[in-house]
Structure 1
Amino acid sequence: MKVFAIDLSVCNGCYCCQIACKDEHVANDWTPYAKPQPDTGQFWIGITELVRGQVPKVKVSYIPKMCHHCDDAPCIEQCKSDAIYKREDGLVIIDPEKCTGCKLCADTCPHNAIFFNEGLNIAQKCTGCAHLLDNDDEWEVPRCVDQCPTEALKFGEEEDLKDFIKDAEFLNPEAKTKSRLYYKNLPKKFVAGTLYDPAAKEVIIGASCVLKDNESGEIFKTETDNFGDFWFRGLKDNRAFTLTLEKDGKTKTIEDIKTEIDLSLGDIPMEQRKSAISQPATPGMFA
């Protein structure tokens, strides 16, 4: 059974996958796999740009999104014309000659991966370039995978990609559709800031930074770098944390840091006294 696997840590947002898909399917009729994709309005694989944090601590993540080729695909169940089927290799196909344009599949898909072609009155989506896999011995992967310059996109047998899959996640796990699209390094919440000495008007290098998850008690540790910056990455959503900063006997505590969003705590002055000072955190409060 085939699977798609995407490593977001090496996706640089070049859009080659999206362009390759357009090149392969726009103005090309691959019936019975798919009829031509419209010039505009549809991206059978598309890049979502996710901008996180607040200036100056900002990160941009790129997430390729496409059909999940689900093992438990609600679109197949909802199709009244038997136009949608799952192949033995795991790819889910919408037969353009059987589709009646009822739109039930597009309305049902929890991953928003099915599009409607108004001109042809049919539903359309990623086919995994099944027309190439079936009819051209030179092609072992879809066009999007072939054109990925960083090899962020992979396609192959589930067994061959088992080492990737064991550490991977689903993009939309709550849908419970048994997706065959696996992701590594999906964006997680971060907390960042810059520590400085207000008297010396210099950043503080090598300060101990300890972040505690108030619910689980889990501890995260790092130190400020040569720019006085600290970063805590990979944090869980909607959790409350307490941050303790320490350098040369001086301590500062910031409480009630909540990861409802990615947080830049701005410029944080280290108080010139040894007793801890507590205060709630607000994005950019020290900027």
Structure 2
Amino acid sequence: MRQHSELPQVHVQERARVRAGPRAGGDREVGGIEMTHYGMIIDVGRCVGCYNCFIACKDEFWDNDYPPYSRAQPDRGQYWIRLKEKERNFPQIVVRTDFVPIPCMHCRDPPCLKAARDGAVYVREDGIVMIDPEKSKGQRQIVDSCPYGVIYWNEELQIPQKCTFCAHLLDQGRKRPRCVEACPADAMVFGDLDDPDSELSKLWRSAEVLSPEQAKGDLLAPPGSDEHGVSVKYLRLPKPIVGGSVIFGDTGECAEGVRVTVRGGDGVAAETVTNAFGDFMVEGLRMGGKYVVRLEHPDYQPKELEVTVNGDVNLGEVRLDRR
């Protein structure tokens, strides 16, 4: 096992960087010290499911101790950033898979902190939630306290472990965790939430909170309420879709070019046109919403179907009658 003795051997709850001068756009300063709060946004719409983030995390932490930050991650059974997959619109031709990377949320009010004893969990000045690998020994209740299921138990070492935002690298001057560096699709944005001019802060206003139900159950569950003050948010989280196949009733042929309009209580929610196979898929619908799907073609009678969205809806085969 490689030990990285060059890392600073001090706890870093008090970490802050002395500023040389003000930053354009303003900063939160206390006594001339720059206060940083690290955060991350994950754009699910850009994630391609390559697992580079997971592999980079394993490469950094497997068989590597970083005292006092963390002990080595086991080669199996721990996913400090895991990818949750959901296949959509099967068995139609138009099928898609959404991938949602899920690291520690680094909550401002972390349940794991309340569950821990003897200071085994602490929040750094920069917002990173850390588990002390020495003080946490034997404290399995820390694992059970996480509503997102992102704290893992190391059976050999008898300690809880999780994502650290690569704090050992940030304290050496690196700008981003390994997972962010490894992402080829730029699906992750990492930065300072206390800097109003940062890309992260600008995206933060429109980002969503992943709910515990989404993290541990159905990705289509409603987004979270941010009761714990997360430092990780998401763009383009999966929303329910409606799909189906349209055929011309008189010929039995695939109905290409049929206009599909989905209307909800507040107007048009989505529009599309069937492809060469007669398939269609519309997305971004509201969980629990009631919609009317209207199918239109110049040579055929329009058809309307009412749907209640409690998950992905596949309408199957829909026939249009000639005018």
TM-score by length of 1: 0.88
- Counterparts of 1:21 and 1:223 in 2: how far apart (Å)? 39
The aligned counterpart of 1:168 is: 207
Q: Does 1:212 align with 2:263?
A: yes
Q: Kindly tell me: are residues 181 and 85 of structure 1, through their superposed partners in 2, closer, same or farther at Cα, counting changes over 3 Å?
A: same
Q: Does 1:125 align with 2:181?
A: no
The aligned counterpart of 1:285 is: none
The aligned counterpart of 1:276 is: none
Match of 2:232 among 174, 177, 181: 181
CA shift for structure 1 position 270: 0.3
CA shift for structure 1 position 150: 1.0
CA shift for structure 1 position 31: 1.1
CA shift for structure 1 position 217: 4.1
What value does the CA root-mean-square deviation take over the aligned residues? Answer: 1.7
> What do residues 2-30 of structure 1 show as CA deviations (whole Å, max 9, x unaligned)?
10111111111111110111111111110
How many residues align structurally? 268
Match of 1:91 among 109, 125, 128: 128
Match of 1:140 among 151, 175, 178: 175
- Counterparts of 1:223 and 1:247 in 2: how far apart (Å)? 13
**Alignment-mate amino acid for residue 253 of structure 1:** E
The aligned counterpart of 2:95 is: 58
Range 228-237 or range 110-119, more displaced: 228-237
Q: How does 1:80-119 map to 2 (within 5 A)?
A: 80-119=117-156
- Counterparts of 1:81 and 1:103 in 2: how far apart (Å)? 14
**Alignment-mate amino acid for residue 143 of structure 1:** R
> What do residues 140-163 of structure 1 show as CA deviations (whole Å, max 9, x unaligned)?
111111111111122111131122
Contact 2:209 2:226 in 1 (8 A): no
- Counterparts of 1:208 and 1:91 in 2: how far apart (Å)? 49
Q: How does 1:177-256 map to 2 (within 5 A)?
A: 177-213=228-264, 216-227=265-276, 228-248=278-298, 250-255=301-306
**Alignment-mate amino acid for residue 48 of structure 2:** N
> What do residues 102-127 of structure 1 show as CA deviations (whole Å, max 9, x unaligned)?
21221111011111111111111001
Q: Does 1:77 align with 2:114?
A: yes
Runs of 4+, deviation exceeding 4 Å: none
CA shift for structure 1 position 196: 2.1
Q: Does 1:150 align with 2:185?
A: yes
CA shift for structure 1 position 93: 0.5
The aligned counterpart of 1:280 is: none
TM-score by length of 2: 0.78
Range 166-175 or range 223-232, more displaced: 223-232
